[in-house]
Amino acid sequence: MQIARVALDVPLHRFFDYLVAGQDALTAADIGCRVRVPFGRRSKIGVIVDVLAESEHPLAQLKQVEEILRDLPALPADWFRLTEFCAAYYQAPLGDVMLSTLPAGLRRIDPPKARPAKPPGKFPPAQIAPALTTEQQDALARIASAGEGFNAYLLHGVTGSGKTEVYLRLVESCLAAGRQALLLVPEINLTPQLEARVAARFPEAGLVSLHSELTEAARSRNWRAALEGRARIVLGTRLAVFTPLPALGLIVVDEEHDASFKQQDGMRYSARDVAVFRARERGVPIVLGSATPSLESWANATDSRTRGRYILLTLRERAVENARLPAVQRIDTRLEKLQDGLSGALLLAIEKRLARGEQSLVFLNRRGYAPVLACASCGWTSRCTRCAANLVLHLADRRLRCHHCGFEDRIPKACPTCGNQDIHPFGRGTQRLEEVLAARFPQARILRVDRDSAKSRKQWEVLVEKIHAGEADILVGTQMLAKGHDFPKLTLVGAIGPDAALFAADWRAPERLFAQLMQVAGRAGRAALPGEVLIQTQFPEHPLYAAMVRHDYPEFAAQQLKEREQAGFPPYAFQAMLRAEAPQMATALAFLAAARAWPEAPAHGDVMLYDPVPMRLARRANFERGQLLVESPSRRALQVFLPAWLSAISAQKSPSRLRWHLEVDPLEF
C-alpha cells in the first residue's frame, strides 16, 4: 500500500497522508500532480508533495485518495522551492501557499468546462524594432557582457526613455536561445498596451496573459500553456510570478516600485521580491525597471554596503527624437485665489492647449464628487457607520460611498441631525473637477478616467482608444493615468492638491508622492510636442518639489535614504506587523499586548516589539483594528524569531470574533 503526502489549502502548517489504491500506483514522477481527496465532509483538490512507503499515522486512520489528476504535467521542482521559500519567509502555511498560486479553475472539484480558445485580438501588424539610442545600446551591452546566469539589474530610465524597448530586445535574445520570458506589470490596465507591443514584435511566440480579469477557463488554459512550454512569453500581474516555466530564461518587472506588486490579503507577499528570489534560484537575469525606483531597490543598486546587490543601468534621455522632459513649474496657491480649486495659470495653460488642438491632463488622486457631505449648522458630516472614515459623495449616481468597506447610502435631502436642508459638499474629487472644467470650457471634450468610469478592462480600453483617437481635449484622472501610457498629443499636466502627502503620518508618503508626480508628469511631451507640468502647492520651496523641477530622482532618493537611516527605517531595518481586529478595540489591543508579552525580553535578541496601537484607519467594516510592529536591524534575526513567536501566539486561545494576521515587510502603517 502506497501513501501520498498531500498539500491542501488549509491554514495549518502540515501536510496530510492518504492511501493510494494498488491500481493507481505512484512513482516519483507523480510528485507535483493534483489529486482529489476527502477532507472532512467534502472533497478537496491537493498537490502530491511526496510518495511514502509508510506513515507516522496508523493506516486505519488514513483515508484513500479519490482520484489522481494526471491531465497536466507535474509541477516542477523549482516551483516547489519557490513556494517553500515564500511560506517560510512570509510565515504562511505551505499547503495554503501552494494551492493559492494555482489558477482557481484547477483548484475546483468541478472545474469549468473547457471552451475553444478565442481567436487572438487585433494586434498591430508585425513591427520592426526601432533604432536604439546610445543609452539603450549601453544598457543592453552591459547585460550581454555579464553572460548567462543570475544578475539583478535596476533599469532607471526617465519617463519615455525607452525602457520597454530594452525589455523587448532582451526578450528577443531570450527567445533566440530557446527560453521563456516572464514579464510582470503592476496592474491589469497596463497589460493591453504592452500586450499589443509584445504580440506585434513576436507574433509567433505564443504570448499569454495572466491576470484577475480573465475567466477561470482562460486563466487555466494560459497557465497550462506556460507549464507545457508552449507559451514562450508570459505577461501578467503579481500572481503570475508563480507560473511554472520549464525553460525560464528572463524575468522583467516593469514599474517595480509600484505598491500593487504587494499582495494585501492571504499570503502578503511582494511579487517583485519573489521574482528576484526566483531569478536567483533559477540562475537567470532579472530586470527591474522604473523611472522612480523603490528606495529599497535604489539602495541595493547604489549603497556600497550592499556590495552591488543590483547593477544600475541608466537611461537619462527620452528615446523619441526631439522629445524632451517636460518643464515643471510650481504654482504657489498662497498668492492667488483659486477658481473652484484651479489656478489662473493652469486655466490659461489649458486654454492654450485647446487653441492648439493639444490634450491636457488634470490630475487629482481622489475619485467621487467630494470627499464629504456636511452641514454647516450643526457640524454633521457623512460618516461611514462601519468605518472610521467619511462617506464620499458620488453625485452622478446620487450615492454616498465608503471607499474602504463598500457601504453605500442615499444622499439625504436634509441634515439627519438638525433637519437643515442646506447641506453642502466639501472638497473636490474627479467628478466635481469634471463638472467645473465643463462649465469653464463648454466647447471642450472632457473625459474622466478613474475607478468609477473604468471598472473593467473593456471600459478602460474604450477610454484609451478615445484618447489616442483625439476624441478628448481634457482628461481628468487619478493615478490610473499616471503610468505606462503614451499619448502623443498630451502636452500639459496639472497636479491638484498634492500637499497632503508631504506631512502624512506614513513615512513612505513622500516616496509615493514623488513617484506619483514623476509618473504623471511623464505623460506630457512624450513625442515631438513639448510638455509642461504645473503643480499647485502651498509649499513650493519643499525639497520634494525642487527635485521634481530638476527631474532629479537620485537627489530625492539620497535625501530620503539619509533620513531613513537616521530614523532606523527600512531599508536599514527589517519589519513585520502583527494586526488584529475585533468588534471592540480593547479586545484587539489586549490580544496584541498578550502577544507582545511572549517570550520574555532576553529571548528577543536583536528583535524589538513595540507597543500595540490602533491602526490609522482604526475601524473598518464594523471591526476595530490594532497593530504591533516587530523590528530588527537583522533580517536573519527577525526570520529566526517569527516562527516560534507565531507558534506561541497560535497556541493561545483567542476570542471567537477576533481575527489576526502577520505581514512581513509591511507597506501600510
Calpha distance 168→196 (Å, rounded): 12
Does one domain contain both 545 and 647? no
For 350-377, the pLDDT digits (tens) are 999 999 999 999 999 888 888 899 998 9
Which three cell numbers mark 655?
476570542
Average pLDDT over residues 69-86: 95
Does one domain contain both 173 and 273? yes
Average pLDDT over residues 511-519: 93
Highest mean pLDDT among 162-166, 365-369, 526-530: 162-166
Determine the pLDDT at residue 599: 61
Which three cell numbers mark 321?
527624437
Determine the pLDDT at residue 126: 58
Host domain of residue 349: 327-369+428-563
Determine the pLDDT at residue 602: 40
Average pLDDT over residues 80-95: 96
Does one domain contain both 529 and 654? no
Average pLDDT over residues 119-146: 80
Does one domain contain both 277 and 159? yes
Does one domain contain both 179 and 251? yes
Helix axis angle for 163-176 and 191-201, nearest 10°, is 50
Quick check: 402 pLDDT over 60?
A: yes
Quick check: 227 pLDDT over 60?
A: yes
Calpha distance 601→596 (Å, rounded): 10
- Length of the chain, please? 669
Determine the pLDDT at residue 120: 46
Instruction: Give 343's contacts (C-beta < 8 A, 6+ positions apart).
Output: 331, 333, 336, 534, 536
Tell me, yes or no, whether 9 lies in a domain.
yes
Does one domain contain both 516 and 660? no
Tell me, yes or no, whether 639 lies in a domain.
yes
Least confident of 86-90, 283-287, 421-425, 542-546: 421-425
Helix axis angle for 271-282 and 77-89, nearest 10°, is 140
**Burial level of 470, CB count in 10 A (0-12/13-18/19+)?**
middle
Calpha distance 227→238 (Å, rounded): 17
CATH of the domain at 221: 3.40.50.300
Instruction: Give 510's contacts (C-beta < 8 A, 6+ positions apart).
Output: 501, 502, 544, 560
Which three cell numbers mark 68?
489522481
Calpha distance 552→543 (Å, rounded): 11
Tell me, yes or no, whether 112 lies in a domain.
no
Quick check: 586 pLDDT over 90?
A: yes
Average pLDDT over residues 559-565: 95
Q: Which of 172, 167, 180 is nearest to 230 (CA)?
A: 180
Tell me, yes or no, whether 555 lies in a domain.
yes
Average pLDDT over residues 411-424: 91
Determine the pLDDT at residue 119: 47
Does one domain contain both 11 and 53? yes
Q: Which of 96, 97, 93, 73 is nearest to 83 (CA)?
A: 97
The answer to whether 507 touches 485, Cβ cutoff 8 Å, is no
Does one domain contain both 157 and 280? yes
Tell me, yes or no, whether 381 lies in a domain.
no
Quick check: 481 pLDDT over 90?
A: no
Determine the pLDDT at residue 320: 83
Question: pLDDT band at residue 482, thresholds of 50, 70 and 90?
Answer: confident
For 600-650, the pLDDT digits (tens) are 544 567 899 999 999 999 999 999 999 999 999 999 999 999 999 999 898
Determine the pLDDT at residue 307: 66
Quick check: 487 pLDDT over 90?
A: no
The answer to whether 74 touches 29, Cβ cutoff 8 Å, is yes
**Burial level of 129, CB count in 10 A (0-12/13-18/19+)?**
exposed
Q: Mean pLDDT over all residues of the chain?
A: 91
Question: pLDDT band at residue 304, thresholds of 50, 70 and 90?
Answer: confident
CATH of the domain at 601: 3.30.70.600
Determine the pLDDT at residue 187: 86
Domain tally, the chain: 4
φ/ψ of residue 624, rounded to 5: -85, 140
Which three cell numbers mark 4?
501520498
Determine the pLDDT at residue 82: 98
Q: Which residues does residue 4 pair with via DSSP β-bridges, in sequence order?
A: 18, 51
Determine the pLDDT at residue 129: 81
Average pLDDT over residues 554-574: 95
Average pLDDT over residues 447-456: 85
Cα Rg of the chain (Å, integer): 27
Tell me, yes or no, whether 405 lies in a domain.
no
Calpha distance 481→359 (Å, rounded): 13
Tell me, yes or no, whether 209 lies in a domain.
yes
Alpha helices, DSSP H, located in 253-366: 271-282, 295-302, 344-356
Determine the pLDDT at residue 570: 95
Does one domain contain both 79 and 208? no
Determine the pLDDT at residue 34: 96
Question: pLDDT band at residue 97, thresholds of 50, 70 and 90?
Answer: very high
Q: Which of 544, 541, 542 is nearest to 552 (CA)?
A: 544
Give the end of a domain, one of 563, 593, 627.
563
Tell me, yes or no, whether 195 lies in a domain.
yes
Determine the pLDDT at residue 517: 93
Instruction: Give 472's contacts (C-beta < 8 A, 6+ positions apart).
Output: 359, 445, 446, 447, 466
Average pLDDT over residues 46-65: 91
Average pLDDT over residues 94-114: 87
Neighbours of 224 (CB within 10 A): 20
